[in-house]
């Protein structure tokens, strides 16, 4: 796991803040759930690959627990218990660290951060569209460009496999192979399991349908799957959702991919991931999962959600040169000329901070000249030098570091002087 030094930590928090603002603007309220949960809860429907990558241990009470690899299971647990009677729809937001024993590499860490949005209680296409619109708003708001939403629907392939009488377990095995883009292995597996030639041909065609033109793609998938009623219903649902995204302020480019699958096993409807051309890894992912809550409580509560990956959004913005510099107009250092001046320096510092200025007080006991050269090195814009004579007159020496000019100013005028815009 990584240590995040100030520059990195600041960037991560910047995205986190934007994600929280997006939640607020769309009516999603934040919940905070524990990092450690019962293994069984986290393992349910998380998919074989993710299950293998969980940090699992036994706690002192002998319980098998794990570090959360995602938020969805924890939020679904709350939905099935404490929030089950709350009026629907319920919109919930979470943000924090997650843990997966992935092979560390560019954009893939064992500890990473996600923002997570879940909408419970509606199975209508407008709730799927809402999650996609929210995703688009967040990516646009942080300044990302040329991003793309890769979209599919698990109901297409699962629908075909259901009509061909494949069990849920076998369907999940196929979806895991497709998630790893092992289409040939998936077809061979199905053949061994006695899949009909018609089904194999249909799937082969589906795996090859990808296009940036949703309407013609929908027509193409419909034609290929015309013999499979359940799959056709999924395509209709997908078409309805995509239709709701056709408005001016929706920025994301869409890529419809009929053979697209995701590793998580709980999805029942639309699935999607976000990408930028500069990076091969997904910046986030989500989809509809109508049966997960039922697994925990017996109640049928439909749900749809998305989790943007915060670390990868930082990488994408860095790649596009879009990381905003944290601009602090002023960084002020107060230098007491002797030890008696430390306490009065704290007093001035507190006055300035109350006015929203960023202020440090010299803490190394350095002489004024050493403190000044340190201030230069650290990008301090203004130093304030406080000595007994100035204190007696309620003044302070203000030095503008870049300009190398200094003047004695009244303490009561400091805030006005420091806050006035630079010429
Ligand atoms: P996921 O696709 O497993 O979905 O993860 C979402 C995002 O988390 C990924 O696209 C990626 O940006 C980030 N991520 C995943 N693993 C790592 C890693 N090892 N290092 C860095 N970033 C990573 C979910 O977690 C679902 N719970 C999303 C969801 C919410 N579906 C419905 N509601």
Span from the CA of 83 to the centroid of ligand 1 (angstroms): 24
Distance CA 122, CA 141 (A): 26
The residues that bridge with 286 in the sheet, in sequence order, are: 272, 306
Alpha-carbon span 200 to 193, nearest angstrom:
11
pLDDT of residue 423: 47
Ligand 1, atom 18: nearest CA belongs to which residue?
Answer: 108
Q: Is the CB of 225 under 6 A from ligand 1?
A: no
Q: Which atom of ligand 1 is nearest to the CA of 107?
A: 21
Pairing of strands 29-30, 90-99: parallel
CB-count exposure of residue 350 (10 Å: 0-12, 13-18, 19+): exposed
Q: Ligand 1 centre from 345 Cα, in Å?
A: 48
Pocket flag, ligand 1, residue 76 (CB < 6 Å): no
Closest protein CA for atom 20 of ligand 1: 108
CA triple 236-245-204, angle to 5 deg: 45
Closest atom, ligand 1, to C-alpha of 273: 10
> With a 6 A CB cut-off, is 116 part of the ligand 1 pocket?
yes
Atom 21, ligand 1: residue with shortest CA distance: 108
Tokens representing 169 are 């377990």
Q: Is the CB of 135 under 6 A from ligand 1?
A: no
Measure 284 CA to ligand 1 centroid, in angstroms. Answer: 6
306 CA → ligand 1 middle, Å: 9
- Does the beta carbon of 257 sit less than 6 angstroms from any atom of ligand 1? no
List, as one string, the DSSP characters of 34-92. -SEEEHHHHHTTS-HHHHHT--EEE-TTS-EEEE-S-SHHHHHHHHHTTTTTS-SSEEE
Q: Give the up-direction half-sphere exposure of residue 227: CA atoms within 13 A in the CB hemisphere.
A: 10
Low-confidence ranges of the chain (pLDDT < 50): 423
Cα of 283 vs centre of ligand 1, distance in Å, is 8
pLDDT digits (tens, 9 = 90+) for 224-257: 999 999 999 999 999 999 999 999 999 999 999 9
Q: What is the pLDDT of residue 354?
A: 96
């Amino acid at each position: 796991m990584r240590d995040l030094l100030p520059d990195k930590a600041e960037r991560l928090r910047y995205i986190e803040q934007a994600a929280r603002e997006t939640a607020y603007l769309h009516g999603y309220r934040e919940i905070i759930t524990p990092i450690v949960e019962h293994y069984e809860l986290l393992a349910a429907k998380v998919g074989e690959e993710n299950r293998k990558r969980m940090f699992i241990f036994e706690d002192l009470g002998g319980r098998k627990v794990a570090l959360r690899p995602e938020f969805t299971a924890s939020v679904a647990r709350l939905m099935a218990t404490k929030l089950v009677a709350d009026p629907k729809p319920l919109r919930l937001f979470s943000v924090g660290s997650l843990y997966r024993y992935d092979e560390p590499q560019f954009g893939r860490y064992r500890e990473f951060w996600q923002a997570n949005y879940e909408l419970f209680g509606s199975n209508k296409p407008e709730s799927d569209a809402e999650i996609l619109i929210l995703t688009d708003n967040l990516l646009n708001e942080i300044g990302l460009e040329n991003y793309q939403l890769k979209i599919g629907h698990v109901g297409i392939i699962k629908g075909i496999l259901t009509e061909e009488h494949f069990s849920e377990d076998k369907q999940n095995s196929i979806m895991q192979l497709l998630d790893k883009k092992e289409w040939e292995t998936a077809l061979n597996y199905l053949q061994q399991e006695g899949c009909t030639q018609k089904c194999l041909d249909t799937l082969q065609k589906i795996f090859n349908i990808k296009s940036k033109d949703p309407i013609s793609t929908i027509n193409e998938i419909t034609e290929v799957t015309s013999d499979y009623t359940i799959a056709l219903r999924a395509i209709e649902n997908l078409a309805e959702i995509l239709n709701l995204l056709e408005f001016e302020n929706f920025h994301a480019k869409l890529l419809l991919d009929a053979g697209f699958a995701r590793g998580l096993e709980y999805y029942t409807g639309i699935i999607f991931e976000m990408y930028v051309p500069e990076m091969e890894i997904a910046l986030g992912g989500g989809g509809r999962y109508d049966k997960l809550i039922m697994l925990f409580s017996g109640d049928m509560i439909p749900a749809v959600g998305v989790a943007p990956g915060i670390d990868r959004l930082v990488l994408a913005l860095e790649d596009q040169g879009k990381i905003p510099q944290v601009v602090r107009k002023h960084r002020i250092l107060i230098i007491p000329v002797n030890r008696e001046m430390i306490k009065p320096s704290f007093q001035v510092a507190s006055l300035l901070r109350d006015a929203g200025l960023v202020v440090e007080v010299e803490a190394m006991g350095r002489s004024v000249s050493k403190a000044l050269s340190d201030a230069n090195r650290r990008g301090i814009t203004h130093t304030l030098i406080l000595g007994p004579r100035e204190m007696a007159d309620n003044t302070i020496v203000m030095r503008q570091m870049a300009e190398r000019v200094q003047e004695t100013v009244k303490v009561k005028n400091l805030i006005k002087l420091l806050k006035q815009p630079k010429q």
